[in-house]
Structure 1
């Protein structure tokens, strides 16, 4: 079948994600080091008395009315100390690499390497920590958050639905993207890790448990976030809409602001950024493991026999590509990669993956394979979802995401036209893997035009291995 192009597209998405996602983890490492250095003092984003602060810096408890240019200590710490983006003029002049950030990101890559170099033997042990530790921290932060003044209003805002926003296509696109990022269906994570299961493993049960835990975790995290947002709205005498930010601003500005006002702020900062790092490492393990598993399985002699060297070479390559994100203007590149790397392409890749399995390979054959593994055929609900609901829904989301795409803005910075073209080129390199592999498969297949089409559309038949020793990559 001409669908291995989907696998190469997923590898491209994971590479792009590794180029900027590990940098974001590096920011959290920077915050953690700053928090640890403040054990015997106060957090550096608590006051406006630091060398990086500007005259516009105002304590969050002070009234900001009448000064539209006022900023908070946490905002200036992130923008002027961590990123130092004021020393850059944007993508046209990003400035030199910031050594401290480059070292933080290098530390992240070292941790990732020693977690992946032995495959699931090493990653499986590390995941016990990176997967479970965040739940402990989330529960601790929730217990603290609900006791803060204003937390009730934040939680009420979180649980109150705004039905009119369902008419906005961006809400659906953001929701789908969030599921892809948190659950990982478009990053090859689930396919790579499931390939190590026994052939008769109960993948039906695993799919339900994994997706349920993922959604419940996001629901729990919402209480943690909005209880603190409600507290910040209470402290600043603002509405929650005015306090909340999207993306890195929420994690690296709003939440640190709230932590700085709490009793024992250094302790809360340390466990919060430890949680961010473990969550980030858990996610990046999955994407990079998908690349290594896919390529080592595809090229067992060239790469599979030298997995440790291959993983080292891959991570060094991605780190070198990620170095521009550690410059003073790196934040602009991070946002560009986030939107045009996995952001747009992943919807099309997941649609092609679903359509290829359900429309090209066929739901009947796929159901028969599941029956061979589980002993029973999937019900009508699942077959209907696979045949119609999922692929059509994904295709509509992809079309709307392209049509509704807006020009990028970060604060007051408008991305230059050339950078948008580069962004679309990044998306194109990912999406084009699928048709290019189809053309390649067609060209190398012998026979006339019709026979070539029939041959490449025919699934490859492999023998079913014994259930006690086999591995499956369903």
Structure 2
């Protein structure tokens, strides 16, 4: 390994596949197709790809660059400007919270996957012991139901009955109830799988992704081919693609396109910095950024064909419009699509393939997010944890499993909705904005360009200065304002959360933002000297900042005064500013 202390990816392809697996998650499957359909069909691709290249790709390249240059995780990488180390803590906290509830989705996938190993899918009929008198088959006598009756809470489909049985929801978030043992077993299995894949860090996860990052594309293709052979499939795909250019006049459409780019690529979570930190110093991270961003967006678009071919078939069978069959979020993955699969020949096989695909998509994202947490602490406390990373990874998995027990109670779904609504939605945009501003205007674009040139051998194009310094921060501010106005209180069906639960949600959101000003205050108090001198010293890189490999660090030259605001630094500090 080039970095004898931390190690590197065994092969460059390990990193590329890990990044693709991290970026291509469940949201590509269950959110993008719905957004595309709702916001102008094919016309939605125009704002989507515009924001991909002026916001998503710049942030992706920025994080890969600083991670690869320093060979440090999101916490220690802020040696470049210690005053802002709270941003790194924010990333670690976000990733910690998300790994807790994201594994619950994998838990549900494992449960439905286990239920699929049967001659007849248990949600294919209403003859099961858990069904009530309100159960009906959507594809039988669908004309007897109007839209209100079809989706009324007093009605239940075959699959919602199974989901209700395993969840056994309580009356609300105030009533947690007991633990559902089926989900408990699946949760334990989910964390066991994650630990086994990460026990050797990137050395082990880098091997697993050869299966988990590539198999979903094979499975998607198999599902697409099967879907295209179904009656009504073409109608569903045409509904998905039909452009409505009038939608482009709505600010909301552009806002949702930008939000989808931001959340699907995963900047500001720390995962990209972490994975890039295990690269070799001269790896072409710009090439990797373009490949992964295009793969992520292409997968989202491709998944739309898979989803809408089957949704079109479902609409054909029920006699309902496609718009009344499609839904977004987990409901698409765990209700609508599996329900449509029951009408296919050899339906258990297709259900198994579908849930295996969801499992792989979920695991890949979980690998990168959890590695962010473990590498963050190991890099920050190398003497304490450096030799015990495998043990520490197991400890983190155990602690998060214990915390996750609350999510497999009867009231766990209500808590899941709160975490999913607040944990990352607002805070990661704040973190991403501050990260971009600090790297551009405090650490400095000139110094950043020098670092990248040292790695790649060529100076980046001037367009990156424009994007990092002005365009991308402006877009992040805009979508931050947009999402603030769009962000109401969470709901779950007809259940409305009490005000105290909403307050807890905002407290969760603030957990990753408060450390930013909090660490600033702490760092200033620890520093010695007059206030302005303390701030100036904390804005500069630490003495041991530089390239990860020792041979590269020996030739690294930097001026500690660069990009420090003029009013905080004496004039002589700027005489030889790079």
Q: Which moved more, 1:422-431 or 1:407-416?
A: 407-416
Is the aligned partner of 1:13 residue 2:94?
A: yes
**Number of equivalences:** 465
Q: Look up the match of 1:49.
A: 127
Paired residues of 1:46 and 1:260 also in contact (CA < 8 A): yes
Is the aligned partner of 1:206 residue 2:284?
A: no
Paired residues of 1:27 and 1:82 also in contact (CA < 8 A): no
Paired residues of 2:166 and 2:180 also in contact (CA < 8 A): no
Q: Among 201, 223, 228, which residue is 2:310 paired with?
A: 228
Paired residues of 2:441 and 2:469 also in contact (CA < 8 A): yes
Q: Distance in 1 between matches of 2:490 and 2:134?
A: 26
Q: Look up the match of 2:138.
A: 60
Q: Which moved more, 1:150-159 or 1:281-290?
A: 150-159
1:160 CA displacement: 2.2
Output aligned runs, 1:51-130, within 5 Å. 51-61=129-139, 62-63=141-142, 64-65=144-145, 67-68=149-150, 69=152, 70-78=155-163, 80-85=164-169, 88-130=170-212
Paired residues of 2:338 and 2:351 also in contact (CA < 8 A): yes
Q: TM-score, normalised by structure 1?
A: 0.94
Is the aligned partner of 1:291 residue 2:373?
A: yes
Relative to 1, partners in 2 of residues 1:90 and 1:299: Cα closer, same or farther, differing over 3 Å? same
1:463 CA displacement: 4.6
Q: Distance in 2 between matches of 1:341 and 1:209?
A: 29
Relative to 1, partners in 2 of residues 1:106 and 1:239: Cα closer, same or farther, differing over 3 Å? same
1:179 CA displacement: 3.3
1:403 CA displacement: 2.4
Paired residues of 2:259 and 2:479 also in contact (CA < 8 A): no
Q: Distance in 1 between matches of 2:404 and 2:315?
A: 36
Q: Distance in 2 between matches of 1:165 and 1:281?
A: 35
1:132 CA displacement: 0.9
Relative to 1, partners in 2 of residues 1:182 and 1:403: Cα closer, same or farther, differing over 3 Å? closer
Is the aligned partner of 1:258 residue 2:336?
A: no
1:464 CA displacement: 4.1
- Give the SS at the match of 1:262: coil
Q: Among 517, 522, 525, which residue is 1:440 paired with?
A: 522
Q: Distance in 1 between matches of 2:158 and 2:394?
A: 39
1:75 CA displacement: 2.0
Q: Distance in 1 between matches of 2:87 and 2:547?
A: 24
Relative to 1, partners in 2 of residues 1:416 and 1:402: Cα closer, same or farther, differing over 3 Å? same
- Give the SS at the match of 1:431: coil
Is the aligned partner of 1:32 residue 2:113?
A: yes
Gap runs ≥5 in structure 1: none
Q: Among 147, 172, 175, which residue is 2:229 paired with?
A: 147
Paired residues of 2:378 and 2:386 also in contact (CA < 8 A): yes
Relative to 1, partners in 2 of residues 1:292 and 1:338: Cα closer, same or farther, differing over 3 Å? same
Relative to 1, partners in 2 of residues 1:52 and 1:465: Cα closer, same or farther, differing over 3 Å? closer
1:334 CA displacement: 1.1
Q: Distance in 1 between matches of 2:235 and 2:486?
A: 33
Q: Distance in 2 between matches of 1:46 and 1:439?
A: 59
Paired residues of 1:170 and 1:401 also in contact (CA < 8 A): no
Output aligned runs, 1:280-359, within 5 Å. 280-359=362-441
Q: Which moved more, 1:252-261 or 1:153-162?
A: 153-162
Q: Distance in 2 between matches of 1:341 and 1:170?
A: 22
Paired residues of 1:325 and 1:334 also in contact (CA < 8 A): yes
Is the aligned partner of 1:456 residue 2:568?
A: no
Q: Distance in 1 between matches of 2:260 and 2:406?
A: 26
Paired residues of 2:180 and 2:409 also in contact (CA < 8 A): yes
Q: TM-score, normalised by structure 2?
A: 0.77
Relative to 1, partners in 2 of residues 1:10 and 1:136: Cα closer, same or farther, differing over 3 Å? same
- Give the SS at the match of 1:301: helix
Question: Residues 16-43 of structure 1, C-alpha deviation per residue, up to 9 Å, x if partnerless?
Answer: 111211011100100011011x1xx310
Q: Which moved more, 1:103-112 or 1:227-236?
A: 227-236
Output aligned runs, 1:264-283, within 5 Å. 264-283=346-365
Q: Which moved more, 1:431-440 or 1:259-268?
A: 431-440
Q: Distance in 2 between matches of 1:468 and 1:176?
A: 41
